[in-house]
A and B are shown apart, each in its own frame.
Chain A
């Protein structure tokens, strides 16, 4: 019984709780957090069981309202969807535990809407992951986007402006996507993904179909911040509250990447499409440019969260690069990087949140050596996550890059191999810039504590509370575990996701 309903369980839990929280929260604002946490905690075993069930017994489908596809809406849980659902629930759970204190410090009067919007966002994400219908996907995309705009708006002074920009550009993105579906629906008469995968090969030569695909990919590119459609991201991520950016940055763009995979590899046949329009190649080249652009821009940032936001642009580039290579190793690297980057970015944004809560800012120029003694654990997490971002073994980041490099060599794309490796070195520069500031004495031009070296001043600990520290450390430690377990994941899980067309 429960198995047949698996695709619906996680999004439905989030959706119901998202609506319950404001109802209860009006009377009891304190109940908002426990309810949200309960929803996320409950979703992890469901997602875990879903993944287990799918790996053991193959995809699970659920027809909404009993209307058979392609007429009705179908929810499909396949290895890719169930795996990413698990990633989303686990990462959001850790972030939510961390967010409780951040939320009560950064926006104490907006806690009820915050938690409600978070669950709405997650409902959207998980809905996107489990739906088997292109239009239904659009609906969930809008749900998550609208929740995202609201969340960004709960932030510092600049956040309404950033949210407004995010809203305009996000709507353009979803608009493009919707337009694309329209084109394809007109030509094929179907919105069901599995159905379309059967119909499309016959009508692929029709210009509207290809135009539809291009429109969809453009819209998705905007949502996943694929260079050069990334311009909304740095503002949105850096001016949102730390609790929000820690949730949006690791997950938001990844769900966009998922839609790209779904449309490009499962609905369409990548090899057939490539003969007509070189979409995969264009994505790969743009991503390669994005890796370099994002890394260089990150190098120029003076604020940690902004730096991380640009770094996200670069990391999305890695994912796009792996997908654009359109070979199994590149695909494996991309999916592994979705997982690894979710962990790394979440860990880094949590560290940024810790800094904001305790030190009051996250300006790189104002960091100094005392931080390493005041917040030893947070800073250790920063170092581990940074090593993983650079791609040094045995952290997780090394292994996703390893598969990407293998994929690049398999396709003889030497430029991509060079870009992947060069990107790692640029990562090293901008992360060591921070690590050096935190661990080594630096003289500041106009500072009152310039004599940091030499004088062993007694610093009292300012480490964050356990509810914030534990998620940070779990994510950072997870990077080591994921690194060592990467081969297991690839063999047991990611291998099953590789689209038949590759």
Chain B
């Protein structure tokens, strides 16, 4: 059951290309917004359907594989829909559908400029994200990782304000430097081990390396993927990138880009180095410390932000490190918890960002201190907000509880009381910085929102759907997309044990 078998198929490639193919169509329909948005929605639907068609075989450990052509001697550009890849691709492509609807409401509601560039870049980003998900070796992974960096840049600077331009520079400075470090790490791996193929449980050739070499390599890899995963102190670009339009923050800076980062962390941990090598050199301890302190620090920093999106950004920084923490625990439940949190945090955080955007479009408010009484004006929006924020604090039955429960179990399996207490404290901190927002919205009186109501259905329906999904995934983690089974399978592959 743990052994992965592959079969040739073009579906992974098609799933990547379908949104890239929509870019020229979006471009030529620039003058006809409805047709242009139709292309986006069509691509999003097709992409999700293609990914979904890969799920049944992934569930039985059969991976569709597209082997393209050689890109470097001995290394092919290869796409493989293994359970982990399908897991991530499902989340990214599924939430793209919701975000596409939401984006239409958002950019039209604000009469944004450069809408064509916006939708085209978005489609390209999703191609790159799926490429990251399906990459079967490091070189393929890095190629898509870098394309993701570049195609996100136009979205970060979308507003073209001095603030956005500065954020774009910061974003590129962090991510391009990380890319360079990643390339160096990859080249060194190739020279030292002779392979770049991802291998569940780690590359066996790493055993021949000296401890110093392994440690330096791991440090470079962690820095390379850690920027997108916003592990402190490499997180500074993320709050700055909140200058982007809210749907961008929602999908890219809560789902696609940052999750590509933690996806990369998982790939590096489980498929390049492997649990054995990491624990032998105590490298997972380092990760635990980094992730644990990121969780606590980010939660504390979130308190001090009055800007709603920036508070959400710091919350994202903290929750990304939950995933890193899960990877670093190297125990079955820890890995499952970390993996589930990739999905669960995505559905919850996207709700929160959608709400922030809806508030901005309708009430033009960005600051938390100005939100008194908005719950009465926008009950659905703020209701969803309350649900998702409780979920992030780990309150059952929302899905955040499930992943935290497994992370807690993993901490006990690993015998680490410190990690368990970090999780508990962080849950309290989460509640601490989210509950006041909900309290202000519903229980404080204010007259200023008399004249406004809910945002357009384009925006409210996706956010309610996402909130509903969060609740349902909390009650039935394995329903719909079998996230739980997939996570179990991935953990079993990485740890090379069978998990009941």
Chain A residues with Cβ below 8 Å from B157 are: 440
Selected from B70, B184, B188, the residue in CB contact (under 8 A) with A487 is B70
Q: Which of B92-100, B143-151, B347-355 contacts A (4 or more CB under 8 A)?
A: B143-151
Cβ contact within 8 Å between A390 and B176:
yes
B362 located at the interface, meaning its Cβ lies under 8 Å from any Cβ of chain A in the complex: no
Specify which chain A residues have a CB less than 8 angstroms from the CB of B165 in the assembled complex. Answer: 436, 440
User: Is the pair B150, A487 in contact by a Cβ cutoff of 8 Å?
Assistant: no
Partner of A484, one of B69, B146, B150, B183: B69
Binds B, one of A124-132, A197-205, A399-407: A399-407
Supposing A392-B146, A456-B113 touch, asked if A421 and B184 sit within 8 A by C-beta, the answer is yes
- Asked whether, in the complex, the Cβ of B183 is within 8 Å of the Cβ of A402, the reply is yes
Q: Would you call B71 an interface residue if the criterion is a C-beta within 8 Å of the partner chain's C-beta atoms?
A: yes
**Considering only CB atoms and an 8 Å cut-off, how many residues of chain A contact the other chain?**
33
Residues of B within 8 A of A394 (CB): 143, 147
Beta-carbon nearest neighbor of A406 in chain B: B187
**Min CB–CB distance A301 → chain B (angstroms):** 19
A425:B177 contact, CB within 8 angstroms = yes
- Chain B residue nearest in CB terms to A387: B150
**From B180, which residue of chain A is reached at the shortest CB distance?**
A421
Please give, as numbers and ranges, the residues of chain A lying within 8 Å of B113 by CB-CB distance. Answer: 456
Question: Which residue in chain A gives the minimum CB-CB distance to B143?
Answer: A393
Q: Quote the shortest CB–CB distance from A70 to chain B (angstroms).
A: 37
In the complex, A365→B30 CA distance in Å?
Answer: 30
A486 at the B interface (CB under 8 A)? yes
- Bound: A387/B151 CA distance, A: 12
A409-B191 CB under 8 A given contacts A425-B177, A487-B71, A487-B73: yes
B139-164: which have CB < 8 Å to A? 142-143, 146-147, 149-150, 157, 160
Answer whether residue B210 sits at the interface, using C-beta atoms and an 8 A cutoff.
no
A490 CB within 8 Å of chain B: yes
Residue of B nearest to A441 (CB): B160
Q: How far is the CB of B23 from chain A (nearest CB, A)?
A: 13
A486 touches B71 (CB 8 A): yes
A-B contact count (CB 8 A): 71
Instruction: List, in ascending order, chain A residues with CB within 8 A of B191's CB.
Output: 406, 409-410
Contact A440 B160 (CB under 8 A): yes
Q: Does A275 contact B (CB under 8 A)?
A: no
Whether, in the assembled complex, B190 has its beta carbon less than 8 Å from a beta carbon of chain A, the answer is: yes
Q: Which residue of A lies closest to B75 (CB)?
A: A487
In the assembled complex, the Cα of A440 lies from the Cα of B169 at a distance in Å of: 12
1/0 per residue, CB under 8 A from B, across A440-457: the answer is 110000000000010010
Whether, in the assembled complex, A352 has its beta carbon less than 8 Å from a beta carbon of chain B, the answer is no
Query: B72 on the interface (CB 8 Å rule)?
Result: yes
B192 to chain A: closest residue by CB: A409
Interface of A is mostly: helix
Kindly state whether residue B172 has any CB partner on chain A within 8 Å. Answer: yes
Any chain B CB within 8 A of the CB of A432?
A: yes
Minimum CB–CB distance for B171 against chain A, Å: 11
Query: When the two chains form their complex, are residues A487 and B180 in contact, meaning their CB atoms are under 8 A apart?
Result: no
Contact status A393-B142, CB under 8 Å = yes
Categorize the interface residue count of chain B: 20 to 34
- For window 398-444 of A, CB contacts with B under 8 Å fall at 398-399, 401-403, 405-406, 409-410, 417-418, 421-422, 424-425, 428, 432, 436, 440-441
Q: Mark B77-102, 1 if CB is under 8 A from A, else 0.
A: 00000000000000000000000000
Q: Is the CB of A453 within 8 A of B142?
A: no
Cβ contacts under 8 Å, B69 to chain A: 484, 487-488
Write the chain B residue with the least CB distance to A487: B70
CA distance A486 to B143 in the complex (A): 14
Does the CB pair B147–A393 fall under 8 Å? yes
Query: Which A residues are in CB contact (< 8 Å) with B150?
Result: 387, 392
Kindly report which residue of chain A lies nearest to residue B113, judged by CB atoms.
A456
Which A213-261 residues sit within 8 Å CB-CB of chain B? none
**A409 near B146 (CB under 8 angstroms)?**
no
Give the shortest distance, in Å, between B104 (CB) and chain A (any CB).
21
Chain B hits for A440, CB < 8 A: 157, 160, 165
Query: Which single member of A406, A425, A436, A486 contacts B180 (CB below 8 Å)?
Result: A425
Question: What 0/1 readout, one digit per residue, does chain A (465-502) give for beta carbons within 8 Å of chain B?
Answer: 00000000000000000001011101100000000000
Contacting residue for A393 out of B146, B176, B180, CB 8 A: B146
Query: Which residue of chain B has its CB nearest to the CB of A418?
Result: B184
| Cα of A368 to Cα of B363 in the assembled complex, Å | 34
Measured between alpha carbons, how far is A402 from B179 in the docked complex, in Å?
12
Q: With A393-B146, A399-B72, A484-B69 given, is the CB distance from A428 to B172 under 8 Å?
A: yes
Question: Which residues of A sit under 8 angstroms from B149, Cβ to Cβ?
Answer: 392
A456 to B177, CA, bound (A): 35
Chain A positions within 8 Å of B172 at CB level: 428, 432
Cβ of A381 to closest chain B Cβ, rounded Å: 16
Q: Could you say which residues of chain B place their CB within 8 Å of the CB of A399?
A: 71-72
Residues of B contacting A491 in the complex (Cβ-Cβ under 8 angstroms): 70, 73
**Smallest CB-CB A-B distances: 5 pairs:** A393-B143, A487-B70, A421-B180, A405-B187, A409-B191
Q: B interface vs A, CB < 8 Å?
A: 69-73, 113, 142-143, 146-147, 149-150, 157, 160, 165, 169, 172, 176-177, 179-181, 183-184, 187-188, 190-191
Ordered by A's residue number, 17 sampled pairs between the chains whose C-beta atoms are within 8 Å are A392-B147, A392-B149, A392-B176, A393-B142, A402-B183, A405-B184, A409-B191, A410-B191, A418-B184, A425-B180, A428-B176, A436-B165, A440-B160, A486-B71, A486-B72, A487-B69, A487-B71
Known contacts A484-B71, A487-B73; 18 further A-B pairs (Cβ under 8 A): A390-B176, A392-B146, A392-B147, A392-B149, A394-B143, A399-B71, A402-B187, A405-B187, A409-B188, A409-B191, A418-B184, A421-B184, A425-B176, A487-B72, A488-B69, A488-B70, A491-B70, A491-B73
Interface residues of A (CB under 8 A from B): 387, 390, 392-394, 398-399, 401-403, 405-406, 409-410, 417-418, 421-422, 424-425, 428, 432, 436, 440-441, 453, 456, 484, 486-488, 490-491
